[in-house]
Structure 1
Amino acid sequence: MKRVLLLLLLAGGLLPACNSGKQEKAKSDSTSIVVPLASTPYYYTQLKGAIGDRHITMQLMKTAPNLYRGYYCYDSTGVPISIWGSQDADQVKIYEDNSNREEERFFGGTLNDDGVFKGVWHGDSTSYHFELHTDLRKAQQLQVFYSADSIRLLPSFAGSPLGVASNSIIWPDSSTDSTLSAFLRREITGDVRISDPQQFVRRAIDSFVTSYRIAAKDADTSDIADGQSASWNWTTESDMKVVWNTWPLLVIEKYAYDFTGGAHGNWGATYQTLDLSKHKVLTPDDFFKPGYKDVLSPLLDKAFRKKFHIDEDESLDQSLLVKTIVPNNNFIVTGKGVAFSYVPYEIGPYALGQVTLFIPFTELKSVMKKQ
Structure 2
Amino acid sequence: MRVPVSNSLPISCIAVVLLGGVLAACQSKTDSGAVATQLDKKFALVAPQDSPGTWYRCYRGTLGPKTITLHLQALPAGTENRTSTRFVGSYSGADGQPYELSSDYDAIITPDSVVVHDRSPELLDDNSNGPVWRLHRNGKELLGTRAGQPVQLREVELPGSTSFISLYFLDSVAAYPTQPKSVHGRTSLHVLVPTNGPEAARSALAAGMLRGLRGDSLDTNAVPSSPEQFWQQQRSAFRKEYQQSVTDLTKDRPAEPDTSTDAPSYNYMLRYEDQVATHVFWNQQNLLSLGFFAYSYTGGAHGNYGTSAVTFDTRTGRALRFPDIFRPNSDAQLSVLLEQAVRRVLHQPATTKLDEFLFVKKMPVSHNVYLTSSGAVFIYTPYEIASYARGELRVFVPQAQLRPLLKPNLPISGGEVSQR
The verdict on a shared fold, with TM-score over 0.5 as the criterion, is yes
Amino acid paired to 2:135:
G
Structure 1 residues 345 and 193, CA gap change in structure 2 (3 angstroms): closer
CA shift in 2, pair 1:315/1:363, >3 Å = same
Report the equivalent of 1:168: 190
Aligned pairs (5 A) from 1:350-369 = 350-369=388-407
Which residue does the alignment assign to 1:81? Answer: 99
Match of 1:322 among 347, 360, 380: 360
Q: 2:52, 2:69 → 1: CA distance?
A: 21
Question: Are the structure 2 counterparts of residues 209 and 53 from structure 1 closer, same or farther at C-alpha, using a change threshold of 3 Å?
Answer: same
1:329 positional shift: 1.7
RMSD of aligned C-alpha atoms? Answer: 2.4
Matches within 5 A, 1:23-34: none
- Corresponding residue for residue 31 of structure 2: none
Residues 95-106 of structure 1: matches in 2 within 5 Å?
95-99=117-121, 100-101=124-125, 102=127, 103-106=129-132
Give per-residue Cα distances to partners, 1:131-160, cap 9 Å, x unaligned.
211111321011111011112222344443
The 8 Å contact of residues 146 and 201 in structure 1, kept in 2 or not, is answered as: no
Give the Å deviation of 1:203.
3.2
Structure 1 pair 43–89 and aligned structure 2 pair: CA distance change class (3 A):
closer
Verify: 1:245 aligned to 2:257, yes or no.
Answer: no
Instruction: State the distance in 2 between where 1:198 and 1:117 align.
Output: 32
- What are the superposed Cα offsets for residues 97-116 of structure 1, whole Å, 9 maximum, x if unpaired? 1322434312212124x322
The CA distance in 2 between the partners of 1:339 and 1:276, in whole Å, is: 19
Within 5 Å, which residues of 2 pair with 1:135-174? 135-138=156-159, 139-173=161-195
TM-score w.r.t. structure 2 length?
0.72
1:70 counterpart letter in structure 2: G
After alignment, is 61-70 or 297-306 more displaced? 61-70
Matched with 1:24 is none
2:205–2:318: 8 Å Cα contact kept in structure 1? no
Q: Deviations over 1:55-81 (max 9, x none)?
A: 11111111333122121112x121111
Structure 1 pair 93–83 and aligned structure 2 pair: CA distance change class (3 A): same
Q: Distance in 2 between matches of 1:223 and 1:136?
A: 60
Q: Which structure's residues are more often strand, by fraction?
A: 1
Q: Does 1:69 align with 2:88?
A: yes
Structure 1 residue 51 corresponds to structure 2 residue 63: yes
Match of 1:215 in 2: 245
| Deviating more after overlay: 225-234 vs 242-251 | 225-234
Matched, 1:132 2:150: no
Q: Which residue of 2 aligns with 1:7?
A: none
CA offset digits 1:15-74 (Å, max 9, x no partner): xxxxxxxxxxxxxxxxxxxxxxx9963211111011011111111111333122121112
Q: Calculate percent identity across the aligned residue pairs.
A: 25
Q: Match of 1:285?
A: 323
Unaligned runs of 5+ in 2: 1-49, 78-84, 212-220, 259-264, 408-417
Equivalent residue for 2:7?
Answer: none
Task: Give me the whole-angstrom Cα distance separating, in 1, the residues matched to 2:256 and 2:397.
Answer: 51
**C-alpha displacement at 1:92, in angstroms?**
2.1
Q: 5+ residue gaps in structure 1?
A: 1-37
Corresponding residue for 2:146? Answer: 121
Contact 2:51 2:166 in 1 (8 A): no
Q: CA deviation at 1:230?
A: 1.8
Equivalent-residue separation in structure 1 for 2:380 and 2:113 (angstroms): 34
CA deviation digits over 1:80-125, x for unaligned, max 9? 112122623533202221322434312212124x322111112xxx
CA distance in 2: counterparts of 1:261 and 1:178, whole angstroms: 44
Q: One-letter code of the match for 2:119?
A: D
How many residues of Structure 1 are paired with residues of Structure 2 in the alignment? 327
Q: Indicate the residue corresponding to 1:200 in structure 2.
A: 230
The answer on 1:60 being equivalent to 2:72 is yes
Indicate whether 1:304 and 2:316 are aligned.
no
The one-letter code of the counterpart of 1:141 is S
Question: What is the distance in 2 between the residues matched to 1:154 and 1:289?
Answer: 54
SS at the partner of 1:171?
strand
